[in-house]
């Protein structure tokens, strides 16, 4: 972690040998947004996934910016401008930064609530930070890009298209071909053109996939497009020998086929080990039933399944479902499934199968739709295989008509009026 240098009474501008003051920010002119005076100029450190502990410095009023990005977490830009102004006093900013160095930040980020390069004192702030600490300043590269842009674009009105405006991460054959030594999984960047059309940043794949650079942009392009009025996708066009040139001017020198096809028009995601999304569920069935256990898992294909009964593999049980048939008491127990792919292995929680053998079957059952005594043989237990009784019964399913509120219905005969079955001994 960078260490702060010894505290100083005043921060000296190393270029001039003097202490920056209000005159460095524009000769003491009134600042356009006096409300910015009351707002904290330095905040954090805040945790950053890319940068670690980032000490933030806010140099412009809220939402004073050169752009109005729809994805900005601070909302729409309220003061869109390219005019640089003395929004803050560099000496005051540097005193606040020095007072916060005991928080031991990993980086000092000049960002905040707008575009920091719109502040005319930015260079003095950066020089002052370098004079007091070894903590890197992340806005320096952005400032260099800004000054280059001002030299060529300030004569154009806001919104005018003036060639490239940043280095973008792009789809290219160089994601997988023509790799740089020691960079097996690169990001490919391209952007910024000179007035003669030559790129300031040629197509480059020398940065590995986790490389962080403030000037690299990710532009999400809709995959769906029309070609000659026919719906298709960007991926399909880039892999079509007849259409690839519509979107890409790469050739075999960049690693395409002889027809300019980018064979794999995407970045490879990180490997995904299997994850159990919905484990199998416990079931209770009767003997002879055919229960089915189901599992939902996610991960890189192909996924392999191995169902287990008390930890022992079940032969042939290699699908996402396990179907059992005619189960008996011996098959009751705990079932689980092991899911694997090239990236890992996961085992589901066990699901219990209960086979209920304590349910007594009905000794006699009949629909009583008519005289069905011929379906019955009654034994008293002699064990000689000869029926001991015969039975004869019938039910009167007639009814009595009744009328209520103008509607006629049938009132069934009460079961207490049904004739009792008559049993005859043989």
- Tens of pLDDT, residue by residue over 138-192, are 554 555 666 666 776 667 665 555 554 456 788 999 999 999 999 999 989 887 6
Same domain, 171 and 149: no
Same domain, 51 and 173: no
Same domain, 322 and 421: no
**The model's pTM:** 0.37
Q: Let me know if residue 12 belongs to a domain.
A: no
Q: How far apart are the first and last CA of the chain?
A: 104
What does the pLDDT profile of the chain (426 residues) look like in tens digits?
Answer: 333 333 333 333 333 333 333 333 333 333 333 334 445 688 888 887 667 788 888 888 888 888 877 777 778 888 888 888 888 889 998 988 888 888 888 888 887 788 888 888 888 888 888 888 776 665 545 556 666 667 766 676 655 555 544 567 889 999 999 999 999 999 898 876 776 777 778 899 998 887 766 555 666 677 888 899 888 888 899 999 999 999 998 999 999 999 999 999 988 877 888 989 889 999 999 999 999 999 999 888 899 999 999 999 999 999 999 999 999 999 999 999 999 999 999 999 999 999 988 755 445 555 555 556 666 666 555 566 665 555 555 444 444 455 555 555 554 444 444 444 433 333
**How far, in Å, CA of 418 to CA of 394, rounded?**
8
Q: Let me know if residue 3 belongs to a domain.
A: no
Element housing 144 (H / E): helix 140-153
Point out the domain boundary residue: 254, 283, 303.
Answer: 254
CATH of the domain at 344: 2.60.40.10
Q: Let me know if residue 67 belongs to a domain.
A: yes
Q: What is the pLDDT of residues 119-128, one digit of tens each?
A: 888 888 888 8
Q: Let me know if residue 259 belongs to a domain.
A: no
Alpha helix ranges (H) inside 225-284: 234-238
Structure tokens, 47 = 């945790």
Q: Phi and psi of 283, rounded to 5°?
A: -140, 150
Same domain, 388 and 339: no
Number of domains in the chain: 4
Same domain, 57 and 145: yes
- Which of 297, 331, 326 has the alpha carbon at shortest distance from 314? 331
Angle value at C-alpha 149, between 128 and 56, nearest 5 degrees: 35
Same domain, 172 and 287: no
Same domain, 174 and 223: yes
Same domain, 235 and 295: no
Q: Let me know if residue 239 belongs to a domain.
A: yes
**How far, in Å, CA of 12 to CA of 131, rounded?**
7
Query: Which residue has tokens 């979107």?
Result: 247
Q: Let me know if residue 8 belongs to a domain.
A: no
Same domain, 147 and 26: yes
Residue-number span of the structural domain to which 76 is assigned: 22-153
Point out the domain boundary residue: 314, 329, 355.
Answer: 355
Point out the domain boundary residue: 131, 153, 175.
Answer: 153
Q: Which residues of 181-202 are buried (b: 16+ CB within 10 A; e: fewer)?
A: eeeeebbbbbbbbeeeeeeebe
Axis-axis angle for helices 140-153, 122-132 (nearest 10):
160
């Amino acid at each position: 972690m960078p260490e702060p240098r010894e505290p100083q009474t005043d921060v000296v501008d190393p270029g001039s040998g003097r202490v920056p003051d209000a005159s460095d920010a524009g000769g003491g002119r009134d600042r356009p947004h006096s409300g910015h005076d009351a707002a904290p100029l330095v905040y954090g450190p805040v945790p950053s996934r890319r940068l670690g502990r980032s000490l933030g410095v806010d140099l412009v009023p809220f939402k004073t910016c050169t752009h109005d990005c729809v994805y900005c977490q601070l909302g729409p830009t309220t003061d869109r401008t390219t005019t640089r102004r003395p929004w803050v006093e560099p000496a005051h900013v540097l005193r606040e930064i020095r007072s916060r160095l005991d928080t031991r930040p990993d980086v000092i980020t000049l960002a905040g609530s707008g575009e920091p390069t719109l502040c005319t004192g930015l260079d003095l702030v950066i020089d002052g930070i370098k004079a007091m600490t070894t903590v890197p300043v992340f806005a320096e590269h952005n400032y260099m890009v800004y000054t280059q842009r001002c030299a060529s674009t300030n004569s154009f009105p806001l919104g005018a298209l003036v060639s490239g405006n940043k280095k973008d991460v792009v789809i290219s054959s160089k994601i997988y071909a023509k790799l740089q030594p020691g960079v097996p999984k690169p990001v490919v960047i391209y952007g910024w053109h000179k007035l003669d059309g030559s790129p300031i940043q040629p197509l480059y794949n020398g940065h590995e996939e986790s490389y962080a650079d403030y000037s690299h942009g990710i532009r999400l392009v809709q995959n769906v497009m029309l070609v000659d009025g026919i719906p298709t996708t960007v991926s399909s066009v880039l892999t079509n020998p007849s259409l690839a040139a519509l979107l890409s001017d790469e050739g075999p020198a960049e690693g395409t086929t002889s027809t300019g096809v980018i064979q794999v028009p995407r970045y490879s995601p990180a490997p995904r080990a299997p994850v159990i999304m919905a484990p199998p569920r416990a079931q209770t069935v009767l003997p002879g039933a055919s229960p089915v256990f189901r599992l939902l898992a996610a991960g890189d294909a192909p996924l392999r399944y191995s169902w287990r009964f008390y930890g022992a593999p079940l032969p042939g049980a290699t699908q996402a479902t396990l179907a059992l048939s005619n189960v008996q008491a011996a098959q009751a127990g705990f079932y689980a499934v092991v899911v694997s792919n090239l990236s890992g292995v996961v085992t589901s929680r066990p699901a219990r199968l209960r086979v209920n053998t304590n349910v007594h079957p009905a000794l006699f059952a009949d629909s009583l739709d008519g005289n069905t005594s011929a379906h019955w043989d009654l034994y008293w237990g002699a064990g000689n295989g000869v029926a001991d009784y015969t039975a004869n019964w019938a039910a009167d399913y007639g009814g009595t008509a009744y009328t209520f509120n103008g509607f006629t219905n049938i009132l069934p005969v009460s079961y207490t009026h049904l004739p009792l079955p008559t049993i005859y001994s043989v």
